[in-house]
Amino acid sequence: MAKIRIKLPTGLSDISLLKGIQIMETLEVKEDIKDLSLSEKISILSLITDLPVSLFMDFDPLESQVNLLFNKLELFKDQFRLFIPETFRIDKTYGLMDFNKMTVREYMDIDFWIHEGDSPFSNLHKIMAIVYRPVKTKKRNPKNVLKNIASRLLYKGVVPKFYSSYTIEDLSEEHELNAEEFLNKSDFSFGYGVLLQIQKYNKDLKERYPLLFRTEEQEEEAQTLEDDIEFGSLWGMYHILMSISSSIFERDAWLNRPIGELYKYLSYLKQKDIYGQKRGS
C-alpha cells in the first residue's frame, strides 16, 4: 500500500459543527471511549478526515494503525482549545445572549432541545440559535475597528467581531432558520463552548437557589426559622412584595422574565411552605 498523508484536526475549531454532532452522538452511546469498536473508530476517522472508510480498511496491521491515528485526535484529550467569541459573523453578525438575563421562555427552549434528542449534542445547532442571535444594535470604538479589520484578514467563514457593547434580537420562531446556518457554516468549538456555558449557568442557579435542590437533611436546616419576624427578615422586601401580591405568578407574564427571578420565587414558596408546616399553619 502506498504511503498516504492524513491530516488530523488540531482542535475543535478544525471540526465542523455538523461533524462534531455526528461524532459526539456516536460517543454518547458508549460509557467510555475505550468501548468503541474498531469499525466505530474507523467511521469517526473517515468522517473527521473526509477520507473513505475503504482507505482505513486497507491499513496493515489494521487495528494498531487505526488506534495510533485515533489516539492522536485532540477531540478525545482531557484538554483542548476553545475560542468562544461574544460576537461573530457568518452571513450576518450574531451576539451571545446575557445568561444573567435569560428568560423563562429561553431557559425552557434550551432545556427542551437538550433533552429532545439522543444526546445533548443532537440539537446543538438549535440551542445555538437561542444562545446566539442576530445583533440588533452595536457600539464600537477605534480599538474595536482595528480588531475587526485584523479579524477579517485572519479568519475565514466564522469571523469574530468586537464591539464595546451590543444588543441582540428577541427570541422568535424565525431564529430556527439560523440553526441551519450554524449547522453548515460554524465549527464545533462554538457548539461545545455553548454547552459548557449552559452547564455552568445551571450549576450557578443551583448554588444561588439551593433550597430547590436540597436533600432531606438540608431541608431540616430550613426548618430552624423561629418566627414570622425571622422569616420576613430573611426574605426582606421580597417577602413584603409576596404578601401584598395575589396573582404575581401568571404563566404568560413569567415567560419573558428572568429564569433567576422564577427560581427566587419558587425558593421563597418552598421555604414558606417548610416554615408553615413547622408552625402547623
pLDDT of residue 95: 94
In this structure, are 103 and 177 located in the same domain?
A: yes
pLDDT at 100 over 60: yes
In this structure, are 198 and 245 located in the same domain?
A: no
User: What single-letter DSSP state applies at residue 8?
Assistant: P
pTM: 0.74
In this structure, are 115 and 186 located in the same domain?
A: yes
- From residue 147, give the alpha-carbon distance in Å to each of 118, 133, 140, 151, 231: 40, 21, 10, 6, 52
As for how many domains the chain has, the answer is 3
Q: Which of 150, 183, 208 is the last residue of a domain?
A: 208
The grid cell for 113 is 432541545
pLDDT at 228 over 70: no
pLDDT of residue 52: 87
In a domain, 4, yes or no: no
In this structure, are 172 and 101 located in the same domain?
A: yes
In this structure, are 111 and 192 located in the same domain?
A: yes
Look at residue 228 and give its three-state secondary structure.
helix
Q: Which residues span the domain enclosing 106?
A: 87-208
In this structure, are 197 and 110 located in the same domain?
A: yes
Q: pLDDT grade, residue 166 (50/70/90)?
A: very high
Q: Which residue has the higher pLDDT, 237 or 58?
A: 58
In this structure, are 127 and 106 located in the same domain?
A: yes
In this structure, are 221 and 177 located in the same domain?
A: no
In this structure, are 222 and 241 located in the same domain?
A: yes
Residue 127 corresponds to which amino acid?
I
User: 56 Cβ partners below 8 Å, 6+ apart?
Assistant: 42, 45, 46, 62, 66
